Structure 1
Amino acid sequence: MSAALTLAGPDHLDRLVTLVTACHEETGTKLSEEARRAGLAPLLEGIPHGAAYLIGPPRAPIGYIVLTFGWSVAFGGLDAIVDEIYVRPGVRKRGIASEALLALPKALAAGGLKAMHLEVDRDNEAAQKLYGRAGFKARETQIFMSRRL
């Protein structure tokens, strides 16, 4: 299996919604299909705030990564947050997520991306190992905080 990445476009919406629904069911994320579609569609239509990538063959993807873009003075410019990453359970533990997390930053660095961030549950040791293999490190002096509006 390959972690080939394809920038998702409007014609990928249904496939992506299926994958996102599976991810959300697994993680306990409560969101209606209408809200999922509303969150994904602008990314697929090219808004500058983020992008979605299919992992694997575009006609039958095995996963996805959603990035959101921002700006960081501390990192010297454009940065991205991995909002979600998902690989179907049947093809996990084959290095696909690691391969994708290594390839994507290299490709985006050529476009000016300076840093990539993600968050992980403190108790999810498997995910922490995966992200560590892909070069992500915990920022010991800072924690990611959120406020829902």
Structure 2
Amino acid sequence: MHAYDAFLAGPEHSLNLARLQADFNREFDSPCPPVVVVARRLEVMLAGDQCFAIVAGNGHGLVGHALVTLRPTFYFDGPLAVLDELYVQPVLRGRGIGSALIDRLLQGLALRGSLELHINVDEDDTATRRFYEHHGFDNNLPGSDWQMLLYYQELPPTK
């Protein structure tokens, strides 16, 4: 076990979650809105019922997070879940923190009646793919050899 607890975050954790997300985006050279903007958006999202976050921390602050969004689906009664982000500070990786986050988010999804979780991973990110596969995730539908693909298109902002 590790010295970090994984627990459900509330809107009051928004600023710290936004800081962790900014660290994640910097690590991978990905664009990110300013921390205050992300914090404001997360505060609103976490106050509703279409999103939840699991955070890992100790008495000295947060060291990782998993952010899940939920949406209705006609395939089953519970929500379809998407793991939007999972991040653990680099110096703390390999200590079971990511696994604790996954375990707690799966418990949270079971309580919400979700039957499916989607995760998008870059093809060349073999360490992350290996992590998710270790936790039972697959990119093939049961009974199929075909890999699932994500298609993406940026849309122009609305005025």
TM range (shorter): 0.7 to 0.9
CA distance in 2: counterparts of 1:137 and 1:75, whole angstroms: 20
Q: Map Cα deviations across residues 35-56 of structure 1 (whole Å, 9 max, x no partner).
A: 3224312123x12221122112
Change (3 A) 1:107 1:32: closer
Residues 66 and 105, structure 2, Cα contact 8 Å, conserved in 1? no
- Percentage identity across paired residues of the two chains: 27
CA distance in 2: counterparts of 1:37 and 1:138, whole angstroms: 32
Match of 1:40 in 2: 42
| Secondary structure at the counterpart of residue 7 of structure 2 | strand
CA distance in 1: counterparts of 2:20 and 2:59, whole angstroms: 12
Q: Extract unaligned runs of 5+ from structure 1.
A: none
CA distance in 1: counterparts of 2:3 and 2:44, whole angstroms: 27
Supply the AA of the counterpart residue of 2:42: L
| Secondary structure at the counterpart of residue 61 of structure 1 | strand
Q: Extract unaligned runs of 5+ from structure 2.
A: 141-145
Supply the AA of the counterpart residue of 1:82: L
Q: Which moved more, 1:133-142 or 1:90-99?
A: 133-142
| Secondary structure at the counterpart of residue 51 of structure 1 | strand
Number of corresponding residues: 148
Change (3 A) 1:28 1:48: same
Residues 6 and 100, structure 2, Cα contact 8 Å, conserved in 1? no
Residues 6 and 58, structure 1, Cα contact 8 Å, conserved in 2? no
User: Does the alignment pair 1:129 with 2:130?
Assistant: yes
Q: How does 1:72-111 map to 2 (within 5 A)?
A: 72-74=73-75, 77-111=78-112
User: Does the alignment pair 1:113 with 2:120?
Assistant: no
| Secondary structure at the counterpart of residue 61 of structure 2 | coil
Q: Map Cα deviations across residues 98-131 of structure 1 (whole Å, 9 max, x no partner).
A: 2321332133212211111101010111101100
CA distance in 1: counterparts of 2:108 and 2:32, whole angstroms: 31
| Secondary structure at the counterpart of residue 48 of structure 1 | coil
Match of 2:143 in 1: none
CA distance in 2: counterparts of 1:7 and 1:40, whole angstroms: 14
CA distance in 1: counterparts of 2:76 and 2:151, whole angstroms: 18
* TM-score where L is the length of structure 1: 0.85
| Secondary structure at the counterpart of residue 13 of structure 1 | helix
C-alpha RMSD of the superposition: 2.1
Q: Which moved more, 1:50-59 or 1:118-127?
A: 50-59
* TM-score where L is the length of structure 2: 0.81
Bigger radius of gyration: 2
